[in-house]
Each structure stands twice: as C-alpha cells, then as structure tokens.
A and B are shown apart, each in its own frame.
Chain A
C-alpha cells in the first residue's frame, strides 16, 4: 500500500509545482493585504491592486495545474544537446554545484575575488567531472586573476582583492 502511494506520488511529483505556486500565491496575497492602506494614492488602482491580481492568478493556475496533473497531463522535461534524459537525474552534481556557488557568495568577502573565483571555477569543473588536478587549479587561478585585473584595474569596477591587500 505504502509503496503504491509512493509510486503514485512519484509519478505525480509535478503536484509539488502546484503546491509551490499555491504557497507563492498565498505569500503574494498576504503581502498585498498587509500593505499600509493609509497611503492609497489616487484612483482605483493602488499599490495592492496588481499584487492581488497576480496572487489570485497564482492560486487559480496552481489549482488548474494540479487538476491537469491528476488527469494525466505532464510537463515535458526540457531536452537539449548536452542533456541525456534517458539516465535518472544526477542530483548530487546539482547540489555540489549549488554548494560551490553558495560558497563563492560567502567567501568573496573574506577571501577576496581571485581566491573565491578560482575556487568557484575549479569546484564547478570538478563537480562536472573534470579531474585534471594539476591543470584545473591553474586554469581557475589564471582566469580568476585575469578577470580581477580587467575589472578592478582596467575598468575601475571594484572587486575585493583578498586578505593580502595592503599587507604587501
């Protein structure tokens, strides 16, 4: 019974999209209703009108999508040149990539752009299956430093240089 339920749910995992859309709709509506009603401005369309319309739209679409899924409708997963849909999804790589990206966001402040950028490139390449341990870090470092030079030095778009700035 439980296994049946599981497979039933797995086949209809798109229902999750419906649930998310519904929650998003609720969020938009709550936000719209908590807007300060005092500053309404003029005319029939105030700051809350469009959010209300969008929020209701989300709820309606969430319900319609769920009905469609229950009736057997399925969204087609996107195909592409580099995409192999015959294999099951490799969520480990996705998590790894997302983690590397998040690490970049966290590290760019303390370690500076060149270090964080090199780690991002190397980490992403590693996650995607590149295992040239003697080549990848050098490519990553060179790319990162070059980008830093172009942006920070040539163009004057400031990027953090790292912990050794001003020390040497």
Chain B
C-alpha cells in the first residue's frame, strides 16, 4: 500500500495549478503536432524538448507525458479522417476508422478512439502503479526465443485478416515481407534489395508503406473511379456515440490494455504489434465480423486502447529499469539526462516526488485528453465535408509533406508514389492491403529475433525452445492450429456416441 500513499502525494504534486497547466499545454501541443503528417510521438517529444528547457524537472515531465499521449491520439485522428497514419501505432486505426469516417461516422470513430485512449491509458497507468516492480522483473526475463514465439503466434493470427481469397491475402503478405527485406541486414550489415542505394539502407519506413498503401493508393483508386454524379458531401451524421456503439465497444476498450500493457513493457514490444494483435482479437471475437474492413467500431476501439496502454507499459520499463522500449522512451530518457536524472532502479528512491508526480499527472492528462477531444470529435469530423477534389488533393499533399519532412529526401517521395501505385494495383485486383502492412511490421522483427535467438545459442536449434515462455506460446499455437481438427474429432465422437 506504500505505492498508494505515494500516489496520493503524487496527485498533490500533479494538481498544483502550475503543473495542471503544463499537463494541459502538453496534451494540447501533443495533439496539435501529432495531427501533422510525418510527425509521430517520438518526433513530437523531440521537437518540443526545447520548450521545456525553462521548466523545473517535475513540470517538464508532466508536460512530456501530456505530449506523448496527446501525440498518440493526434496520430490516430489523421488515420481515421484522412487515411494517413502519422506513425506506425496509428496504422490499424485507419483500417476500420477511415471507412467509418467515409460513411459519415467519423465522429463516432474519433470518439471510440478517444475513449479507447482514455480507457487504455487509465487501465495501463493503474497497472503501472500496481505492477511496476513485478512487470519490470519479468520483462528482463523475456528474451529473443520468447519474442520469436510471439511473432509465430502473430503470423498465425494473420491468417484471419487474409480476406475472402486466401491466395490473394498471401500474395499481399509476401509483398509486405519483401518490402520488409529492403535494407541493411541487422545482424551482418549486408545490403539486401537496396540496389546500392544508401537511402534504402535503413529500409522503407512502415509509415511510408502504410501512407503509400492506404492514402496514396486510395486516392489514386478513387481518382480512377470517381463518382461523377456526386456533389453530396460525406454526411456528418450524429455527433455522439449511440447506445449500439457503446455496447459494441466497451469490451474492446477493456480488452485492449490486456494486450497493450504487457507488450509495451517488454523491451522489443513497442506499440504497433499490440495494436495489430488487438485488431485481430477483436475481429475474432466480434459478432459483426462481416463489418470488418468496412468500418467496425470494435476495430477502432480495441487497438486504440491497446496503443495507449502500451505507452503506459513503456513507462514501466523506462522508470523502473531505465529501459527505453520505444523511440519516445529513448527521447524521454535523453530528456531525463538533460536534468541530470538517471532513470533506473534507483529512480523511485531518489526522486519519489518526480516519479509519483509524473504518474499522477498521467491520470490527469488522460482526463484532460478525453475532455478536450470528445467534444472536438464532431468538429474534426466536419473536415470531411470539404469537396472531394480538395479532400483528396489535401490527402496527397499531407502524405507528401509527411514523407518529405522526416528525412528531407526527394527519393522518399518517389518511394511513396511507387508504393501508392502498388496499392492501386492491389485494390484493382482485390489484394487486401492490410496483410502487406502487417508483413512489413512483423517480417523484419521476426527475422531479427529468430536469428538473435539462434546466435545466442551458438547455432543450436534448441535455442528457440529453451524457455518456459516460448514453450507455452508454441503450445498455444499448436492448439490454435489443431483446433479445427480437434473439433471435428469431438463432433464425430459425439455422433458415434449418439
């Protein structure tokens, strides 16, 4: 119960008028900048670092937390409204969110995302308070074989998003895996599929792939088949979530953190794999499977909640171990050092006011984020009422700005266009886009963990199954694979018995 008292003290710190102000400023700035194309949370925090130079540490970190959560939510906003994810964790939000927005349910999608962020953040932060030491101890025990087992599980899960034609889904997945191969091999530094170009050496960024396949591909596809008889702007519809929406979403909001928090806390987890796993889970569990891909609200609610909770998980590893598990955490770690504070095992003892103030301000920031964005959702959604030519021209414009702003390389724009054309072709011939994006995310991660595991075991294949965690995961995989067969056997037995 010590942590509870400390937390109450923390609220004392967070609720001082000045710190409340910093939290609000952080959330506002974070959302505003997160909405901009090409600027994800890591970039937002890095860019706003100088703003905090004048503040004392507690205020600065309270503001950072606000920026972090704000930027994550801002990224989802563009995903939903314009189909242009600003960062990899927001990719999944575009899959269901954008069709919803196109169908005039943008406000609902945004509200589902906002509440998802709120729920995920709240639950994640509560878990942070209660479980921080436990999770931190466990996170250290997760190694390469365990990650690889998780990736295998993720690949099995992919089969459920392959779409109506398995073979076309597989083709899409393989296109994604091929794009994921581009770049320097992380283990030996050899160039693969770079054709000697240095700009390709770091591979093609997931955001470029997602923006290219979703936004550019979509814009070109629409251009090829633009409804000439239109004139009707996209209807805005009701501004609030209906009863039906809430009944469908609340479980997803609560499930998201279960996936997001633990994966955020482990060193190679990050935010994109939990959002994707949450999406697949929601699809499996939904009673409205047929709506998936066409705007199912669960597909927004779950992943957004998972993304937000994974941010809380990230903070667990960073505050307790000094482990930066994502780029944002790395920037925040650098900011800590700016103040001469070293996050790590001693941080809770050495700077209790700061840590607990920061944690308390996460709760405060979450409430501010919800209070700010829920009323704004219908306003944002009206953005889609602008005439089609401007809307799609704007999407192209922002996609281009985003791709260029990251590295200032004109070549990135050409890559973006090429991927957009691939996206166009995929739409024309009914290849689903989602498996390709997942291939880009999962492929390189899985390969790296596989090879790292094998290298640590000095080439012995037993290195893949030498931990209880990995064995458990493989057991789950086997059960999942054997389930249809098992079910048949059981049904037959019953028949025989009957």
Q: Direct A–B touching in the complex (beta carbon < 8 Å)?
A: yes
Q: Could you tell me which A residues sit within 8 Å of B by CB distance?
A: 14, 17, 21, 24, 27-28, 31-32, 35-36, 39-47, 50-51, 54, 57-58, 61-62, 64-65, 68, 73-78, 80-85, 87, 89-91, 93-94, 97-98, 100-102, 104-106, 108-109, 113, 117, 120-122, 124-130, 139, 143-144, 147, 150-151, 155-159
B327 interface hit (Cβ, 8 Å)? no
Determine if A68 and B392 form an interchain contact, defined as CB atoms under 8 angstroms apart. Answer: no
Q: Give Cα distance in the complex from A32 to B216, angstroms.
A: 30
Please name all residues of chain A whose beta carbon is closer than 8 Å to the beta carbon of B102 when the two chains form the complex: 80-82
Q: Give Cα distance in the complex from A14 to B171, angstroms.
A: 13
Q: How far is the CB of B171 from chain A (nearest CB, A)?
A: 5
B246 interface hit (Cβ, 8 Å)? no
Determine if A151 and B394 form an interchain contact, defined as CB atoms under 8 angstroms apart. Answer: no
Which partner residue on chain B sits nearest A32 by CB separation? B192
Determine if B190 and A36 form an interchain contact, defined as CB atoms under 8 angstroms apart. Answer: yes
Determine if B396 and A93 form an interchain contact, defined as CB atoms under 8 angstroms apart. Answer: no
Q: How far is the CB of B364 from chain A (nearest CB, A)?
A: 26
Q: How far is the CB of A25 from chain B (nearest CB, A)?
A: 8
Interface code B42-70, partner A: CB below 8 Å = 1, 0 otherwise?
Answer: 00000100000000000000000000000
B287 interface hit (Cβ, 8 Å)? no
Determine if B221 and A159 form an interchain contact, defined as CB atoms under 8 angstroms apart. Answer: no
Interface residues of B in 393-422 (CB under 8 A from A): 393-394, 396-397, 400-401, 404-405, 408, 410, 413-414, 417, 420-421
The verdict on A17 contacting B227 (CB below 8 Å), with A45-B454, A58-B174, A101-B417 known, is: no
Known: A80-B99, A94-B223. 13 other contacts (CB 8 A): A17-B425, A21-B175, A31-B192, A41-B187, A41-B455, A47-B185, A50-B447, A100-B396, A105-B410, A117-B400, A121-B394, A121-B397, A155-B36
Determine if B427 and A84 form an interchain contact, defined as CB atoms under 8 angstroms apart. Answer: no
B228 interface hit (Cβ, 8 Å)? yes
Q: Give Cα distance in the complex from A39 to B455, angstroms.
A: 14
Determine if B181 and A139 form an interchain contact, defined as CB atoms under 8 angstroms apart. Answer: no
Determine if B33 and A85 form an interchain contact, defined as CB atoms under 8 angstroms apart. Answer: no
Identify A98's interface contact among B220, B226, B405, B408, CB under 8 A: B220
Please name all residues of chain A whose beta carbon is closer than 8 Å to the beta carbon of B220 when the two chains form the complex: 94, 97-98
B224 interface hit (Cβ, 8 Å)? yes
The verdict on A159 contacting B405 (CB below 8 Å), with A77-B430, A94-B220 known, is: yes
Identify B228's interface contact among A87, A104, A125, CB under 8 A: A87
B12 interface hit (Cβ, 8 Å)? no
Categorize the interface residue count of chain B: 35 or more
Please name all residues of chain B whose beta carbon is closer than 8 Å to the beta carbon of A21 when the two chains form the complex: 171, 174-175
Q: How far is the CB of B296 from chain A (nearest CB, A)?
A: 15
Q: How far is the CB of A56 from chain B (nearest CB, A)?
A: 10
Residue pairs across A and B with Cβ atoms less than 8 A apart, 22 shown, are A28-B193, A35-B192, A43-B451, A43-B458, A45-B450, A47-B192, A50-B447, A51-B193, A57-B174, A65-B167, A65-B168, A83-B222, A90-B224, A94-B223, A101-B396, A101-B413, A105-B417, A117-B400, A120-B396, A120-B400, A129-B226, A157-B47
Which partner residue on chain B sits nearest A122 by CB separation? B393
B431 interface hit (Cβ, 8 Å)? yes
Determine if B170 and A54 form an interchain contact, defined as CB atoms under 8 angstroms apart. Answer: no
Please name all residues of chain B whose beta carbon is closer than 8 Å to the beta carbon of A32 when the two chains form the complex: 192
B165 interface hit (Cβ, 8 Å)? yes
Q: How far is the CB of A101 from chain B (nearest CB, A)?
A: 5
Please name all residues of chain A whose beta carbon is closer than 8 Å to the beta carbon of B39 when the two chains form the complex: 155, 157
Determine if B429 and A75 form an interchain contact, defined as CB atoms under 8 angstroms apart. Answer: yes
Q: Give Cα distance in the complex from A73 to B427, angstroms.
A: 16
Please name all residues of chain A whose beta carbon is closer than 8 Å to the beta carbon of B429 when the two chains form the complex: 14, 17, 75, 77
Interface pick from B122-130, B265-273, B383-391: B383-391
Determine if A76 and B164 form an interchain contact, defined as CB atoms under 8 angstroms apart. Answer: yes
Q: Give Cα distance in the complex from A27 to B226, angstroms.
A: 35
Determine if A124 and B190 form an interchain contact, defined as CB atoms under 8 angstroms apart. Answer: no
Which 9 residue pairs across A and B have the least CB separation, nearest first? A75-B430, A124-B393, A43-B454, A43-B459, A130-B389, A105-B413, A128-B389, A125-B393, A75-B429
Identify A75's interface contact among B175, B216, B390, B431, CB under 8 A: B431
Identify B167's interface contact among A24, A61, A120, A144, CB under 8 A: A61
Determine if A143 and B397 form an interchain contact, defined as CB atoms under 8 angstroms apart. Answer: yes
Please name all residues of chain A whose beta carbon is closer than 8 Å to the beta carbon of B160 when the two chains form the complex: none
Determine if B164 and A42 form an interchain contact, defined as CB atoms under 8 angstroms apart. Answer: no
Identify B170's interface contact among A61, A102, A124, A158, CB under 8 A: A61
Please name all residues of chain A whose beta carbon is closer than 8 Å to the beta carbon of B420 when the two chains form the complex: 98, 101
B177 interface hit (Cβ, 8 Å)? yes
